[in-house]
Amino acid sequence: MVSRVIPVDVFDLVIFGGTGDLARRKILPGLFRRFCAGQMQPEAQIIGAARAEMDSAEYREMVADAVREFSAEGSVGDEDLAQFVERLHYVPIDARGESGWSDLVSHMRPGVVHAFYFSVAPSLFGDLAERLNIHGLTNDASRIVVEKPFGRDLESARALNRDLAAYFDESQIYRIDHYLGKETVQNLMAVRFGNMLFEPLWNSQYVDHIQITVAETVGVGGRGDYYDKSGAMRDMVQNHLMQLLCLIAMEPPSKFDPDAVRDEKLKVIRALDKMDPHHIVRGQYEASDDGPSYREAVGDPRSRTESYVAMKVGVSNWRWAGTPFYLRTGKRLKARSSEITVVFKELNHSIFGEQEDHHNVLSIRLQPNEGITLGVTIKEPGPGGMRLIDVPLDMSFAQALGDDADAPPDAYERLIMDVIRGNQTLFMRGDEVEAAWAWTDPIIKGWEERGDVPKLYESGSDGPVDAVQMLARDTRVWRKVSP
């Protein structure tokens, strides 16, 4: 397959927090891959900015080590890496003080795209925006990229939006939700809006229910401090699962344009029903042979933070009223598997007489093994009458696109290139983030007020049994979580 990589404009990208975990794991290895793919022009510059005192030569060494450590084995050529790190500079900087800023200004070239990646704690967003402004770096050519968590509730998200809006127009602000950069998430839009087949059936008349699962095998690891103050609701549901739900449920935008898409997503969030506490199950994982319990991992034997959440969500609009969306996500589950499943209704009448229930099922698999499967009902081969069975029409992308297809870029690679291109379609708008918090806040507040204690679940399992019972009450079952 011929690669269709189009180089982006020449840029100066400043990574605040350029020595941090995200920069080392994702941002810099991702930029390296885009450099190798020819998407980043050789004239582009990357400037790491952080508190640590080091010079550019030391930074280049640090980045080279990070790229080797966090890239697929055998994928990093020495020559490519040497050329890539030549594009790097380092500026020690004080986000809240004066030191380092004039040095940073001297690196910024006129006439190229300026992007500032705030890979730092949200408490620094306002200070950084203000300093950029003081030093004349908030012009039309500049963009800022901010990471989640974008606030921890509606009030703090509003404050962050205000801090940024004081110096930047909304069209310059790129709020990352890395799920939107995943290949199959974008494919969801292609499948829905690029085919005749699905859209006519995409409503409560034909869809029985929808399941969205983001299951992880990892625990909280070394992120206990952050995670225990967040929990699965803030860490995953308010952003990643909410975005997936929006893409599944939204009306067709008039065109694939940033505001047209984001307007439709916002309408979905605003149409979400207020949550009934009986429609939510929270869980916490227990210890197992290969790892500590959640409470041990976060160092608080009385923690009531959830590492798992399952919920039944209603969308009250013309298209979806009556079709539940079941969402679940958790850590230390049986398998790493993210999947969206649309379960269609049964036929009104079967001409084949008494048969087991048969539903068409469309599964969109985000990871691993990205692909789409459509379950169809056929006759079981062989003699013995008309017995029906369900079989998958399978389209694994790796299979369908052939071995020589380019490996899809990692979510971060794509999103950073979109920032440089100035395309905000896959980024969250300020009002979207606020609407998502406005829906999430009362749920979390309810737990706090009631002193809700998460159910314990076995590590390596499917999660708490209560989640199974929640669906059983609706005579439905969760999809199997399989790798």
Instruction: Write out the catalytic residue numbers.
Output: 240
Beta carbon of residue 63, minimum distance to ligand BG6 (angstroms, whole number): 22
Nearer to ligand BG6, 208 or 216 (CB): 216
d(CA 197, CA 340): 18
Please choose, from the candidates 106, 89, 42, 32, the residue with its C-alpha nearest in 3D space to the C-alpha of residue 409: 32
Beta carbon of residue 180, minimum distance to ligand BG6 (angstroms, whole number): 11
Select the residue interacting with ligand BG6 from 12, 216, 413, 418 (CB under 6 A). 216
Residue 410 found at the interface with ligand BG6 (CB under 6 A): no
Please choose, from the candidates 33, 32, 41, 36, the residue with its C-alpha nearest in 3D space to the C-alpha of residue 11: 41
DSSP structural state of residue 25: I
d(CA 262, CA 265): 5
Beta carbon of residue 241, minimum distance to ligand BG6 (angstroms, whole number): 11
Nearer to ligand BG6, 89 or 178 (CB): 178
Residue 147 found at the interface with ligand BG6 (CB under 6 A): no
Residue 235 found at the interface with ligand BG6 (CB under 6 A): yes
The number of helix segments (H) and strand segments (E) in the chain equals 17, 15
| Pair of tokens at residue 98 | 């004066």
Task: Please give the size of the binding site for ligand BG6, defined by CB under 6 A.
Answer: 3
d(CA 7, CA 13): 15
Beta carbon of residue 102, minimum distance to ligand BG6 (angstroms, whole number): 35
> Which residue is closest to ligand BG6 by CB?
235
Beta carbon of residue 216, minimum distance to ligand BG6 (angstroms, whole number): 5
d(CA 303, CA 321): 36
Contacting ligand BG6 within 370-409 (CB under 6 A): none
Is beta strand 337-344 parallel, antiparallel or unpaired with respect to 325-330?
unpaired
d(CA 80, CA 350): 62
Is omega for the bond preceding 149 within 30 degrees of 0, making it cis? Answer: yes
Over the window 164 to 183, marking each residue x when it contacts ligand BG6 by CB under 6 A and - when it does not, the resulting string is --------------x-----
Left (φ > 0), alpha (ψ -120 to 50) or beta: where does 350 sit? beta
Nearer to ligand BG6, 235 or 434 (CB): 235
Beta carbon of residue 473, minimum distance to ligand BG6 (angstroms, whole number): 29
d(CA 325, CA 462): 18
Contacting ligand BG6 within 330-349 (CB under 6 A): none
Do 32 and 81 form a contact (C-beta atoms < 8 A)?
Answer: yes
Rg of the chain, C-alpha, whole Å: 24
Residues in the site for ligand BG6, rule: CB under 6 A? 178, 216, 235
